Chain A
Amino acid sequence: MTVVLTPTEQFDVEARDGLWMAAVDAERVTGWTLKPEGMCRAELCVPLPASVTNGTEVDVEAFWKKLGAPVIASEARDVWALGAPADERNAALEGLQAPDFTLPDIDGTPRSLSQLRGKKVFLATWASW
């Protein structure tokens, strides 16, 4: 099994030759669906060259790089991190809608920023280090 880390999740998938995986797994990991037009999300499709798909599998490493986003592999190529594209992060922030997130509190209860709609929120970081 290969471990794929996205900014918010971890997936264990069957992959070969790097990140070649079944289209259904590629969708689970990336949120993009393989269609005849290419990889699609909502209204948007990114055409894929024949070197990146064989019709049933997708080379997620090549696809992710095509999106202009970082792909980092461990030395043993068994753990991969897919980063968010810089453009996507900038567009989200420039839209000024505060990006939602879900994080646990000290007891493990998940809390989401979106639960606080209707209040003014002072969102602050700290650390022990």
Chain B
Amino acid sequence: MWQQLYAELKDKGFMVVAVAEESRGADHARPWIEQASSDYWQLIDTEHRLEDLYNLVNVPQAIWIDEQGRIVRPPETAGSTDHFRRMDLETRTMSPEDQAERQAARQAYLDAVRAWVDTGKHALSADATRAGLPKVTPAIAEARARFRLGVWLRTHGNTVEGDRQMNEASSLHPDSWSLWRQAADLDEVGKASGMEFWKRVKALGDQPYYPPPKL
């Protein structure tokens, strides 16, 4: 997904780390990774540790980190848009206008990454970065622990209790699409983008599924 960007910028002290939030494990992610034939890091995160550490709620989200290891942009949507919400569910296609807008938004995001690498543009001040960080609440912290236990129970054969823990995790942190969709996917591949998913997306109303980055 990021190979072209990486190839273009790698000689300018730039690295891409792509993390698969994939509780089914490396073998499940392998076909996508092999197809991407990328030479940046492709890591497997079966426990969704990165989401715990960085308080993430969906994929794809990105964090920009500078040469000193400092966060210069908080977690935000990485190139995706909400145009998919208007797609024709029968044919799974978007209107040409929506496709063009979606492509333009993605391009604008990639251009922002290029500008950051070239000139430092779009790196936020410490205060602005902090202001963009979503707060971890005690409910979110509990959701992470329940999710961790749920994944462990599932991988050790206790599906029923594992599911119960994961469902509780999702209720405690309803803003996290990752918790809900990962649990749905573990239940059955494809379920994460099935009828229940669309019902949940519809219930968002005017709220974004992919909040646009504030570039």
Chain A interfacial positions (CB closer than 8 Å to B): 3, 5, 7-8, 10, 68-72, 74-75, 79-86, 89-90, 92-94, 96-99, 101, 103-106, 108, 111, 113-114, 116-129
Contacts and interface: CB of A to CB of B under 8 A. Distances in A.
Interface of B: 1-2, 5, 13-22, 24, 26, 28-30, 32-33, 41-45, 47, 49-56, 59-71, 78, 113, 116-117, 126, 129-130, 133, 135-138, 140-142, 144-146, 148-149, 152-153, 158, 161, 165, 178, 181-182, 184-185, 189, 192-193
Which secondary structure dominates where chain A touches chain B? mixed
Contacts, number: 214
B129 A99 contact: no
Contact of B49 (A68, A80, A101): A101
A114 B70 CA distance: 11
Contacts of A124: 2, 16-19, 60-63, 78
B14 A126 contact: no
Contacts of A126: 1, 18-21, 32, 59-60
Contact of A69 (B41, B141, B189): B141
A64 B194 CA distance: 39
Contacts of B152: 3, 5, 10, 79, 81
